[in-house]
Amino acid sequence: MSYLVQNYNRKKLSFKIGKGSYLFTTNGVKYLDFVQGIAVNSLGHANPNLVKVINDQSKKLWHVSNAFIIPEGEILAKKIVEKTFASSVMFQNSGTEATEAAIKIARRYFYSKGKPEKNRIICIKNSFHGRTIAAIYASGSKKMIEGFGPKVQGFDHFNFGDHKTLKNLINKKTAAIMVETIMGEGGIKVIPDWCLKGLRQLCTKKKILLIMDEVQSGIGRTGDFFAFEKSKIKPDIVPIAKGIGGGFPIGAVLMTKKISSAMIPGSHGSTFGGNPLAMKIGSKVIDIISNKNFLYKVKKKSNYFHAELNKIKDQYPNLIKEVRGRGFLIGLQLFKDQSKFIDALMKNKLLTIKAADNVIRILPPLNVKKSEINVALKIIKKVCYKFTK
Ligand SMILES: *Cc1c(COP(=O)(O)O)cnc(C)c1O
């Protein structure tokens, strides 16, 4: 009997302790965790650096209102600005709050320019921007909006890769295009670099804003600090969350200077967003992940993982359709439903998670060891063998 609302389809498994790449159940059974809270624990479980920061800061100050200056937030914002396209940061607590705020900011920007009619946002159909009322309508997924009407106006959709429809959707009411650089929940679909470049050119030409949702793909997950950096484009607004707190809930919206000027005092706020404890943790995560050598190692280790997974794919061409993604945002696409495969991996003590399109999402911590990747590969091979026997 559970007193929790049953809004999740949970595996019958629970954990007591986490250490690095591993989780230990309440009975002490060890699992290799390549879910990591869905790309949240970017530095693994109970990272000693983060434990120390939490311990130290918890004795000093947890939370103060944004009615006061919060130096810890000023420091984290500066660090983020120094490493990215952005010139200002607004802190939230989660991904959906960050995407929701990104939508608000885009609209507010045109409002401040005397063009309040420019308020529509173009999104990819069946993308994922979170679960608030606006975000589910932005995502354009039938399943997510079911029962939550009336419809929230202001979103137009095109299918992934349908450039013609995208271009046709842009009109004088359009404020922005919002896309995930790599569609996470949608099945680890990567927007190719040439498309990102085209998207940037299109937005500049039409004088609309480009919002890149990096909630899942950002903060080193792909081996670049942001996934869009590989294509050398600069977006206007970027919501982030998942990886930046290393397991502590933090969200943020990054933006350029011209856009932040629209957000005047009182235009947006958050009670919890940007509190000193969260900011101290975020600062430590950024210090570690934005280090060039750290990111180089993410690229190197993840390239190895992709290459080995592709070898397995070649060995089982009737089972595995494609190895998708970049860095440690990996999708293993099967030809048929992946649920049983995920359960079999779990039986063999490797945790992975579903995405759309028959995709198994593999999300190791960014500081995973090569030996741990090898353990995962061995389990994946074993399950492939079993599935084709
Ligand atoms: C997870 C996710 C969100 C929502 O984040 P929450 O913290 O669950 O609200 C938004 N956008 C993308 C791309 C995500 O992966």
Closest ligand 1 atom, residue 249 Cα: 7
Asked whether residue 334 falls in the same domain as residue 261, the answer is no
* CB-defined site of ligand 1, < 6 Å: 94-96, 99, 128-130, 180, 184, 213, 215-216, 241-242
Asked whether residue 300 falls in the same domain as residue 271, the answer is no
Predicted TM-score (pTM) of the model is 0.98
Asked whether residue 252 falls in the same domain as residue 352, the answer is no
Establish if 35 belongs to a structural domain: yes
Asked whether residue 249 falls in the same domain as residue 161, the answer is yes
Q: By residue range, what is the domain housing residue 338?
A: 15-47+292-387
Identity of the amino acid at 117: E
Among 260, 289, 318, residue at a domain's last position: 289
Neighbours of 240 (CB within 10 A): 30
Asked whether residue 152 falls in the same domain as residue 200, the answer is yes
Asked whether residue 277 falls in the same domain as residue 309, the answer is no
Establish if 254 belongs to a structural domain: yes
Establish if 7 belongs to a structural domain: no
Asked whether residue 200 falls in the same domain as residue 157, the answer is yes
Report which DSSP code applies to 154: S
Closest ligand 1 atom, residue 185 Cα: 15
Q: What region, left, alpha or beta, does residue 86 occupy, with left being phi > 0 and alpha being psi -120 to 50 degrees?
A: beta
Pocket perturbation via mutation, ligand 1, pick of 216, 221, 250 by most ligand atoms within 8 A of CB: 216
Closest ligand 1 atom, residue 95 Cα: 5
Establish if 9 belongs to a structural domain: no
* pLDDT the model gives residue 33: 98
Asked whether residue 259 falls in the same domain as residue 148, the answer is yes
The candidate with the shortest Cα–Cα distance to 384, out of 326, 327, 309, is 309
Q: How far is ligand 1, taken at its centre, from the CA of residue 92, in Å?
A: 12
Interatomic CA distance for residues 140 and 125, integer angstroms: 5
Q: How far is ligand 1, taken at its centre, from the CA of residue 312, in Å?
A: 30
Establish if 3 belongs to a structural domain: no
* pLDDT the model gives residue 183: 98
The CATH number of whichever domain residue 30 belongs to comes to 3.90.1150.10
Q: How far is ligand 1, taken at its centre, from the CA of residue 95, in Å?
A: 4
Pocket perturbation via mutation, ligand 1, pick of 35, 91, 96, 136 by most ligand atoms within 8 A of CB: 96
Among 243, 270, 289, residue at a domain's last position: 289
H/E stretch holding 339 reads: helix 339-347
**Token output for 90:** 């607004």
Pocket perturbation via mutation, ligand 1, pick of 8, 121, 128, 212 by most ligand atoms within 8 A of CB: 128
Q: Provide Rg for the chain, Cα atoms.
A: 21
CB 44 within 8 A of CB 247: no
Total domains in the fold of the chain:
2
Q: How far is ligand 1, taken at its centre, from the CA of residue 225, in Å?
A: 17
Q: How far is ligand 1, taken at its centre, from the CA of residue 67, in Å?
A: 27
Q: How far is ligand 1, taken at its centre, from the CA of residue 128, in Å?
A: 7
Interatomic CA distance for residues 218 and 215, integer angstroms: 6
Pocket perturbation via mutation, ligand 1, pick of 242, 250, 353, 361 by most ligand atoms within 8 A of CB: 242
* pLDDT the model gives residue 83: 96
In the chain the beta strands, taken as DSSP E runs, fall at 15-19, 22-25, 30-33, 88-92, 120-124, 155-158, 174-180, 182-183, 189-190, 209-213, 237-240, 251-255, 320-326, 329-334, 350-351, 353-355, 359-362
CB 23 within 8 A of CB 372: no
Asked whether residue 318 falls in the same domain as residue 204, the answer is no
Interatomic CA distance for residues 250 and 98, integer angstroms: 9
Interatomic CA distance for residues 266 and 6, integer angstroms: 37
Establish if 208 belongs to a structural domain: yes
The candidate with the shortest Cα–Cα distance to 181, out of 173, 170, 189, is 189
Asked whether residue 144 falls in the same domain as residue 164, the answer is yes
Asked whether residue 243 falls in the same domain as residue 180, the answer is yes
The CATH number of whichever domain residue 205 belongs to comes to 3.40.640.10
CB 374 within 8 A of CB 331: no
- Burial environment of residue 209 by CB neighbours within 10 A (0 to 12, 13 to 18, 19 or more): buried
Asked whether residue 36 falls in the same domain as residue 147, the answer is no
Per-residue pLDDT of the chain (389 residues; tens, 9 = 90+): 899 999 999 999 999 999 999 999 999 999 999 999 999 999 999 999 999 999 999 999 999 999 999 999 999 999 999 999 999 999 999 999 999 999 999 999 999 999 999 999 999 999 999 999 999 999 999 999 999 999 999 999 999 999 999 999 999 999 999 999 999 999 999 999 999 999 999 999 999 999 999 999 999 999 999 999 999 999 999 999 999 999 999 999 999 999 999 999 999 999 999 999 999 999 999 999 999 999 999 999 999 999 999 999 999 999 999 999 999 999 999 999 999 999 999 999 999 999 999 999 999 999 999 999 999 999 999 999 999 98
Question: Could you tell me which residues come within 8 angstroms of residue 311 by beta carbon, excluding any fewer than 6 positions away?
Answer: none
Q: How far is ligand 1, taken at its centre, from the CA of residue 8, in Å?
A: 16
Q: How far is ligand 1, taken at its centre, from the CA of residue 210, in Å?
A: 18
- Give the pairing of strands 353-355 and 88-92: unpaired
Q: How far is ligand 1, taken at its centre, from the CA of residue 36, in Å?
A: 14
180 bridge partner residues: 213
Among 231, 265, 289, residue at a domain's last position: 289
* pLDDT the model gives residue 1: 86
3-state SS assignment for residue 211:
strand
Closest ligand 1 atom, residue 214 Cα: 13
Per-residue DSSP letters for 234-288?
A: --SEEEE-GGGGBTB--EEEEE-HHHHTT--TTS---SSTT-HHHHHHHHHHHHH
CB 177 within 8 A of CB 199: yes
Q: What region, left, alpha or beta, does residue 227 occupy, with left being phi > 0 and alpha being psi -120 to 50 degrees?
A: alpha
**Token output for 284:** 């430590």
Pocket perturbation via mutation, ligand 1, pick of 215, 237, 329 by most ligand atoms within 8 A of CB: 215
* pLDDT the model gives residue 389: 84
